[in-house]
């Protein structure tokens, strides 16, 4: 993903906190350390139209309402740390999926590789032939 203005990025991201699940005793019951991050692809000023369409296509299974990315983090007991982790995950997700895919260059195996494969097949075939009953005395 190309570089962008951090203030604009943070303005486009919204957070919601809730109580974490799992072990933790009384601490879990009184602190809202779980963080849900929401990022609306359609409303983003940072992304180009092409990037938006690529992201919507590639992340279709992760989108809510067909346009909002939701990332939930409850790794840490600290709400601030969970927000940082969620932002890092969002940046990685956007960076990995916004690049256009490279076209595959068609190639064929080298002559040495073909020869090696055929030799291995021949060895395997001979091994199996020696196991046959009609080859025994």
Domains plus CATH for the chain?
Answer: 6-98 (3.30.160.20)
Residue 28 has a pLDDT of: 66
What is the CA 10 to chain-centroid distance, rounded? Answer: 22
Rounded CA separation 64/96 (Å): 19
| 98, 51 Cβ separation under 8 angstroms | yes
Residue 47 has pLDDT above 80, yes or no: yes
pLDDT per residue as tens digits for the range 2-34: 566 677 778 888 898 888 876 766 766 778 888
Residue 27 DSSP SS3: helix
Most confident of 22-31, 45-54, 109-118, 125-134: 109-118
pTM of the model: 0.67
Strand order from edge to edge, sheet including 34-40: 13-18, 34-40, 68-73, 63-64
pLDDT per residue as tens digits for the range 28-40: 677 888 899 999 9
Residue 125 has a pLDDT of: 94
Residue 95 has a pLDDT of: 83
């Amino acid at each position: 993903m190309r570089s962008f203005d951090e203030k604009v990025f943070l303005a486009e991201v919204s957070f919601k906190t809730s109580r974490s699940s799992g072990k933790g005793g009384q601490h879990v019951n009184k602190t809202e350390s779980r963080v849900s991050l929401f990022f609306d692809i359609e409303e983003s000023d940072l992304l180009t139209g092409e990037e938006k369409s690529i992201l919507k296509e590639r992340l279709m299974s992760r989108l809510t309402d067909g346009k909002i990315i939701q990332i939930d983090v409850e790794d840490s007991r600290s709400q601030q740390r969970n927000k940082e982790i969620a932002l890092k995950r969002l940046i990685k997700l956007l960076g990995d999926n916004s690049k256009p895919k490279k076209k595959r260059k068609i190639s064929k195996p080298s002559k040495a590789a073909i020869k090696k494969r055929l030799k291995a097949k021949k060895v395997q075939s001979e091994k199996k032939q020696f196991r046959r009953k009609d080859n025994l005395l």
